[in-house]
Amino acid sequence: MRTQVCIIGGGPSGLLLSQLLHRKGVDSVVLERKSRAYVLARIRAGVLENGTVELLREAGVGSRMDKLGIVDEGIVIGAEKHGFRIDIKALAGKPMMVWGQTEITQDLYDARDAMGGVVIDEAEAVTPHDLDTDAPYVTWVKDGTEHRVDCDWVAGCDGFHGVSRQSIPKDVLKEYERVYPFGWLGILSETPPVTHEILYASHSRGFALASLRNENLSRYYVQVDQGDVVENWSDARFWDEFRTRIPAYMAERLVTGPSIEKSIAPLRSYVAEPMRWGRLFLVGDAAHIVPPTGAKGLNLAASDVHYLYDALTAHYLDDEDGGVETYAEKASARVWKATRFSWWFTTMMHRFPEQSEFDRRMQETELDFLEGSQAAQLALAENYVGLPL
């Protein structure tokens, strides 16, 4: 088999890159380790930056999003016993969009199927070869038979645990990491949202977050200790804790119900460099992880896709390699800015086990400053809605 771009990873970033390239006449093959049903069952982020929204429209997969997605113009910050709103659209000039990653992935699968895109699911033992040459290729095993695709470029969209980043020599790869001493316990419930704008709540007992998927599907989180397990949390315990941590006027109108999904996600900040080695490009979680505070994970992957899509289309359509040569630099610069924002927001909103009384007062003062300063709110809004690509 021969293609121009082999994309390792069939999540939203890999599918989006394939879809965008196809619409420009650039061939690709997508290799996904899991089944399509597994990929579509993953519950992930749902807040999209304006740039991500525009990229989905450019890919031709924005119609359902525009019809059913929820335009989100602001966020609410809970500060112990009260809350205040930050008008993101008024400050930054653009809103966000609430549209779940599962929906995005479904739309992309449908689009790739309609265009005859090659997406190979349940591809085992995916291995890239000769990435430091002009003739890379990728092998995989499907139904007990080994297959091979020769290509010009390999895009590693296979996540933090994928093979792509591991293919970069250890003496070349540099990794930066901060592991946070807590996680997020999240539940999905078929209940009306307690607020129609995302709530980030700071409380002496820990952080809490409220978001929505639609008018009768809500996603809620509470900060839990590192190493905690889902089995320790009945629905009743979760609702009691969540109600305690959110502003009182919201707690009074909270509608509870049985959870239909419950999980704990660890939090870390992680960046790998370089994002290009030879004929390999790293995209999304293969190169960086951010805490979900600030909703940057999926959006950062989309910005990587934007840079790589521009670079590869310029290479094939215009015989221009400037974008290829600068991909790693451009993508990494935006990654670090988003990592800073996520780190700052996480540090301000969460309780840390090693915190002193001084540290806690600094958090309280930071929130008080944010509430009273339009300049501080503008800085948050510009980062939240997405820095320019």
User: Does pLDDT of 42 surpass 80?
Assistant: no
In tens, the pLDDT along 309-318 reads: 999 999 999 9
In tens, the pLDDT along 97-129 reads: 999 889 999 999 999 999 999 999 999 999 999
pLDDT attached to residue 41: 81
User: Does pLDDT of 45 surpass 80?
Assistant: no
DSSP reduced 3-state for 27:
coil
Strands in 165-287 per DSSP E: 174-189, 198-202, 208-214, 217-225, 259-273, 276-277, 280-282
What's the whole-number average pLDDT of the chain?
A: 95
Q: Is the dihedral of CA 256, 261, 264, 267 positive or negative?
A: negative
Domains of the chain with bracketed CATH: 5-72+95-177+268-346 (3.50.50.60), 180-267+353-385 (3.30.9.10)
- Output phi, psi for 184, to 5 deg: -110, 120
pLDDT attached to residue 341: 97
In tens, the pLDDT along 329-373 reads: 999 999 999 999 999 999 999 999 999 999 999 999 999 999 999
